[in-house]
Structures are given as C-alpha cells and as structure tokens.
Chains A and B, each alone.
Chain A
C-alpha cells in the first residue's frame, strides 16, 4: 500500500518530463540554433586539432586519433551533462511565479530535474545525427572501449556529473532570491567551465600542477573525467579517486542548493510581482 502511494506521488515527475519534452518541440527554432552553436564549437575544436596534427604525430602525449576521439566523446558526454532548463529558475523567482509552484504539492528540485531529463534526451537525440555527420566529415579513427566494466563506470561518472551540474545550476538560479542579476555570475561560471571542463581540449595538456589543482575543483568531473574513463586512459586508483570526488562534489553542491532554497524561501517576498 505504501509502495503504491509512493509510486503515485512520483508519477507526477514523469508527467513533468513528458510535458517538458512536448514543450521543447514548440521552440524548434531556438533549439536548432542551440544545436548549431554546439556543432560549431565542435567543428572549431576538431579543425584546430586536425591542423595541429598535420605537422606533428604527437602533441601533449596524444596522437591525432586519440585527440579526435577525445573531442567526440567529451562533447557527447558534455551534451548529456550540461543540457538544462534551469536557466528559467531565477526569472520565476523574480516574476513571482514561484508562488504558483509553492502552493502545489510539488518538490521544486525534482520538478526541475525531471524537466532537465527530458531536455537532455532531446539534446542527445539530435546530437546523434549531428555527430554522425561530423564523423563522416572528419573521419577520425575512433577508439572503442574494450571492457564492459568501462561502460558501467562511465555511466556512474556521467550520472554523478549530471547531478552535480544540476545542483550547481540550481544554485545559480536560486541566487535570484537575493539579486536581480543572475546572469553575471553565470557568465563567469560558463567562461570558467569552457576552459576547465575539458570540452574542446583535454585537461592534461596543462602542466601537471595545474591539472592537480583543478582536480580539487568540480570542473574536471563534468566532462574530462568521464571521458577519460570511457577512453580507458585511467588506472583503477584514478577512477576510484575521480568517482569519489564526483560524489563528494555532487553532495556538496546538493547541500548548497538545499540550504539556499530554505534560506531563500524564508526571505521570499512575493509582493506585487
């Protein structure tokens, strides 16, 4: 009986995912533009590395094949981890529409997470076509992982990264409780991610000391770490360490988000908005 009640109360999040999915298709132009931007970034990265490897067989310990595989894999993982609709959270707070959520028997975080899952699925579906096209243009020799365990471990790393990134985004959105301008800190964050998550170059082109310092930040665990796991370029110890760090950051960011939420609700003044 208890199980049925739980199932019933979770069903709503499935419906939320469904309606977000449906809604996504009504914004088809913006969505396509978003995809185009993603492809362009990939093209720049692939072109860059291709031209570098035209004059040298190895660079930073990578061969052309390995580097291009890295770029492909990192970007696929990137789509999964970073597609999100939580951009809307701060405007909901500012407009006062948050009230509409608060009066309903709804968990705010689960609501947005369900929406994000739908968004990620849409992005993955589209990116598969794009990646096939890019594959035919650049025809890199791709490295295929050899162990089943690799896929499982990658899944673990990607899930952890997804949850962590979700909470980080929520924290930025929840800043809306205290400031009308959320875009500035977000912009800084996106800029930093661009260079430290490993999307258009692997982080180990940096000198070792920088890589070590970065490993204590959440950034490498978004794309770089899961990709390295997939490409089977890490030792067992490194994998375990990375997964622990991912988990730790996901938990920390989760705590941060929940704290901001409860503090923010306390000061939420839905007056006249």
Chain B
C-alpha cells in the first residue's frame, strides 16, 4: 500500500503553513514597498519645492539687480539733464521696486540664515546707495555736481558693490540649486528604483501565488487520483477477501460434510460389534447361569455386571458421538441450502414461534412481550431458525424462582434491521459471551439437555444472511441477544 493518509496530510499541513507564511511575507513586502514609494514621492515633492524656491530666490535677486541698475541709469539721466523731472520719478520708482524686491527676498530666504544676513547686508548697501542717488539728485538740481569725478564717486562704487554682492549671492544660490537639483535627481532615481522594486515585488508575489495555487491544484488533483486508486484498490481488496472467505467457507462446509460421513463409518462398526458383543455376552450368560451351576464369583460378576456396564458406556458414548456428528451434518447441510430471499414480516415469524412454544410458556409461567418488529427481505427458514433458537434458549435458561419475562423487539437503522430477544433468565458469565457461539460449547450449570449447537447454528445462519448476532448479559440478571440483518437481502457468505 502507498503512503499512509496520516503522513500525507501532516506533510500537506506543514507545506500549507510555509506557503501561507511566504505569501504573507510577500504581501507585507508589497505594502512596505508602496509605503516607501509614497515616502520617497513626498521627498521628491519637497525637493522640487526647494529647487523652485532657489529659482525664485535667483529670479528675485535678478529683479532686484535690474531695479538697482535702472536706478543707476535714472541717476545718470538726472546728471545729464537735471531739469528733466522724469528721471527723478523713474529713479524713485526703481528704488521703491528694489526695496519691495528686497522685502520679498527677505521672506523668501527666511529658511537660510546666511542668506538672511546677506539680504540684510544688501539692504544696508542699497539703502546707502539710495541715499547717494538722492544726494546726486539734489546736487544736480542745485547744479553743484562735478561731472569730472562722476566715474569715481561713491555712488558708482556702491552700485559696483551691489553688483558683486548680488553676484556672490547668486553664486551661493546656484550652488544651492545644484545641490538641490542633485538631491532631486537622487530622490527621483530612488523613486524609480523603489517603483521598480515595488513592481518586481508585486510581479514576484503574483507569480509565486500563481505557482503555489497551481502546485496546490496539481497536488489536490494528484491526491484525488490517488484516493480514487486507493478506493478501487480497497474495493478489489474487499472483493478478493470476500471471495477468499467464500472459498474458505465452502471448504469448511465440504470438510464438515466429508468428516461427518467418514466419522460415521467407524461408528457403525463400534455400534454393530458392541451389539455383537452383547449378544455373545447373553449367550455366555445363559450358559454360565444355567442350572445354577457353581461358577467363580468373578466370572459371574464379569458377565452380569462388568460386561453390561462397559457395553452400556460404549453405547451411550457412541450415541452421543452420533448426535454430535449429526449436528455437524445438519449445520453443514443448512450451510449448503440455497437461500430464498423474500419479504418476511418478523412479527409473523415470532408470533408463530411463540405459538409453537405456548405449552412451555404456560408451563413455566413466562410472560412473552412483543414489541415493534420490522419487515425484512431475507430467507424465511433461516430467520425462523435463528429466532426460534434464541426464544427457545430464553425459555430454557430461566432463573429458578423468578417468573420469566421475554421481550422480542426490533428497530431499523442505516439499512439494517435490529431484532433483540431479551430475557430475565439466569444470564451468561462475561467470559462465556464469545464461547457460547462456538460449536458444542455451553455456559453455566449443565442442567438442561442440549449439545451446544443452537447458538453456533444461529451465528452461522446470521452470517449467511449477511447479518450479525451479539450477546450482552449479566450473570443472574438476564441476557439480550441482538440480531442485525440487512433490510435488503445480501448474502454474507456464498452458498457452498
């Protein structure tokens, strides 16, 4: 036989646990990867924001420089044409715009302390420059401006200072921008990697899950096939065993038949020659005891007592042996009888048995009670014999001094009929519960006639009908014999 089912199942259980664990790990990894992607995505957004921020700062710085340059241009215009008020307006407007831009810058670079300091410095420089511009303006209006020193005065130095300062700031911002761009690139690469990992994980888990499912399905298919094979094997095994049993039973029947015949032959001789001996003894006896002749006492005793006693024992033993052989013969003959299944109302059968035993029932003052009894498709003669033996036994082995009560009841369950014969008789000792079904075995006091055949016969018949017979009993309390038969006839043992 292949692997035992228990082993296969335990291996499967371990496998399943492992598979579930792997799947759980896979799904957890997917969830973690998704979470990581979300986090990295956030980071990327932050990076983008900072890059934009830097660009904003740069733009703002450039705008400031433009305003500053415009102020310078306006100042030059004032110098060239002091009467023209238009330049003054432009210069004032540019200064205001530059200041506004600086304020904006202050807000923008609030996150960067060094840049904040730079902006403060820038404002200081620009403020002093603006003062110089206004001074130039006033001087021009008054006409005290010295044109020859124009390219060397403080204002020019201031605007140059502003230019270089802003350039430095721009350089710093550029550096920041490069760093931030780098960070953003890194984050993007990380994000791509994470996404790729995530995808790989999802695909991996999916493939693993599909594989596992496929393998499980294949395994289940395999198991199913194996199960079917096992079932077939089991069926053929049962058929084989049944055939073996039937052969064995037929063999036993034949054996019993032959043995009982062959045993009879010598018994005929024993009995016959015993009779001849007896006849011879009579002849001798007549001769010896004739005329009251004097014969030794020993001879007289031998002829009158010893010989008849011996012959008597030989006879009774031979007769007993003959009865036993006949019993075996009857059993084997019953075993060879062809069963004729028909619908049998057990109640009718029991009723007729009870009627046939009525005389003994009345004699012993036994109360017989019939319960609900089923209708069974079975062999009428066989079931009659079974029930009659059981009821007769119940009636035979009463507890002395207690009025007998016998109850015959039945039920059906799972396609089988159960018939019980319960008595309150003398009961059977527990160690004899199996023994009583053996041929020639009896239980308890041997105060009743019988050969120990009835229950052996009952069991053999029950087997033939595809049934079983069991006993439950307590010594001194009573016994219950339970016969179970298939409701639909199915021969238990083949007809020999």
The judgment on whether A and B are partners is no
